[in-house]
Amino acid sequence: MLHPNLDMDALRTLVATQKLGSLNRAAERIGRSQSAVSQQMRKLEEQVGMPLFRRKGRGLVLTESGEQILSYAQRILELNDEAVRAVRGASVQGVVRFGLPGDFAETWLPSALGQFRTTHPGVRVEVAVERNGVLLERLDRGELDLALAMGYETRADAERLLTLPMTWIGPAHAEVALRRDAPLDLALYHAPCFFRRAGLAALDGAGISWRVAYTTASLQSLWSGVAAGLGITLRTAAGLPAALRRLGEKDGLPPLPSVELCLHTAQQDIPPALACLKQVIVEKALANLADAGEPAPPARKPAGACRSARA
């Protein structure tokens, strides 16, 4: 018995629908109309011979068969993309100096960079982990080629990837109680820091007294201070250690704004090695942080895009 070849574009759409939560948002992300996306899903259902979605309220959710196909789709696409990158990436050579904040340095990005090294053996990536502002200072001095940073979306070189909500953060196994007779202890980065400014402005606006009890220039030191109960802090939930937890209005704390996660590129004419790394960073950021933020609208593929990019 001959089995049908599953439509790869339809599988990508299915994965995008699951990550973004709806067919409408998936259509926007991949640059297709909602009717075209719906047609893709009907074709996929015909190929597998089972319904993949069922109605729940006003929306659609995956059936048991849909969840099974989704699991296979993720594996199929990952292997397909790895094969394409390995073949096409073998001819790309060069050096890329890449900077990122500590928020992502111990979670999904090391794995992404390791995969990139495997599929692009001719590209040497030099990585620097710094505070957001320091990264962009180094980019402007010509010390970095590419920087992933939060909070600098107004720069001309900013390419927005995601809007990430800020959150208050405290120790996982301790209550944070606001007291009228004592200021709230805070653990913060040294100034200047836009997270620090946003947190203090939110507390002042809510009439909550505070004091900076712990300051540091290191993210790991910040996490350690919060876990030890020296003060609460604020950041995004990306890379949050297990020893910490998100806090919010239920804890008596005021709401916080969001922050933009952007890629910043130093060069106008992007060489192939830089284009390939940039593509991988964009894909991995959207894949790993989709649940934590709001994706940016799809952008037109820039000149000098990696030759391994999908059509």
pLDDT in tens, 146-202: 999 999 999 999 999 989 999 999 999 888 878 888 899 999 999 888 899 999 999
The pLDDT of residue 301: 47
Q: Would you say residue 305 lies in a domain?
A: no
The pLDDT of residue 29: 73
Q: Would you say residue 112 lies in a domain?
A: yes
Q: Would you say residue 301 lies in a domain?
A: no
The pLDDT of residue 187: 96
Find the domain containing 127 and state its range: 94-163+259-295
279 with 144: CB under 8 angstroms?
no
State which of 86, 102, 127 marks the end of a domain. 86
The answer to whether residues 77 and 17 belong to one domain is yes
The answer to whether residues 58 and 203 belong to one domain is no
Q: Would you say residue 239 lies in a domain?
A: yes
Cα distance between residue 144 and residue 154, in whole Å:
19
State which of 31, 56, 86 marks the end of a domain. 86
The answer to whether residues 136 and 210 belong to one domain is no
The answer to whether residues 102 and 123 belong to one domain is yes
Q: What is the DSSP string of the chain?
A: -PPPPPPHHHHHHHHHHHHHSSHHHHHHHHT--HHHHHHHHHHHHHHHTS--EEEETTEEEE-HHHHHHHHHHHHHHHHHHHHHHHHHHTT--EEEEEEE-HHHHTTTHHHHHHHHHHH-TTEEEEEEE--HHHHHHHHHTTS-SEEEEES-TTSTTEEEEEEEE-EEEEETTS-----TTSPEEEEEEPSS-HHHHHHHHHHHHTT--EEEEEEES-HHHHHHHHHTTS-BEEE-STT--TTEEEE-GGGTPPP--EEEEEEEES-SS--HHHHHHHHHHHHHHHHHHTTTSEEPPPPPPPTT--TT---
234 with 186: CB under 8 angstroms?
no
State which of 45, 69, 86 marks the end of a domain. 86
In tens, the pLDDT along 218-250 reads: 899 999 999 999 999 999 988 888 999 999 989
Domain count for the chain, please give it.
Answer: 3
Q: Would you say residue 37 lies in a domain?
A: yes
Assign residue 187 the CATH number of its domain. Answer: 3.40.190.10
Q: Would you say residue 271 lies in a domain?
A: yes
Q: Would you say residue 103 lies in a domain?
A: yes
Number of residues that make up the chain: 311
The pLDDT of residue 112: 85
The answer to whether residues 159 and 267 belong to one domain is yes
The answer to whether residues 279 and 157 belong to one domain is yes
Q: Provide the residue-wise pLDDT of the chain in tens; the chain has 311 residues.
A: 577 888 888 888 888 888 777 777 777 777 788 888 888 888 888 888 889 888 887 777 888 998 999 999 988 888 887 777 666 655 567 889 999 998 888 788 888 888 888 888 888 899 999 999 999 999 999 999 999 999 999 999 999 998 999 999 999 988 887 888 889 999 999 988 889 999 999 999 999 999 999 999 889 999 999 999 999 999 998 888 899 999 998 999 999 999 999 999 987 778 888 988 888 888 888 877 766 555 555 444 444 556 543 32
Assign residue 63 the CATH number of its domain. Answer: 1.10.10.10
The pLDDT of residue 215: 95
The answer to whether residues 26 and 98 belong to one domain is no
The pLDDT of residue 310: 35
The pLDDT of residue 292: 58
The answer to whether residues 50 and 178 belong to one domain is no
Cα distance between residue 290 and residue 309, in whole Å:
20
- Residue 272: other Cβ atoms inside 10 A: 21
Q: Would you say residue 81 lies in a domain?
A: yes
The answer to whether residues 177 and 190 belong to one domain is yes
The pLDDT of residue 285: 85
The answer to whether residues 171 and 233 belong to one domain is yes
* Closest to 76 measured CA to CA, from 37, 118, 51, 48: 48
The pLDDT of residue 268: 74
The answer to whether residues 108 and 237 belong to one domain is no
The pLDDT of residue 201: 96
The answer to whether residues 176 and 251 belong to one domain is yes
The pLDDT of residue 41: 87
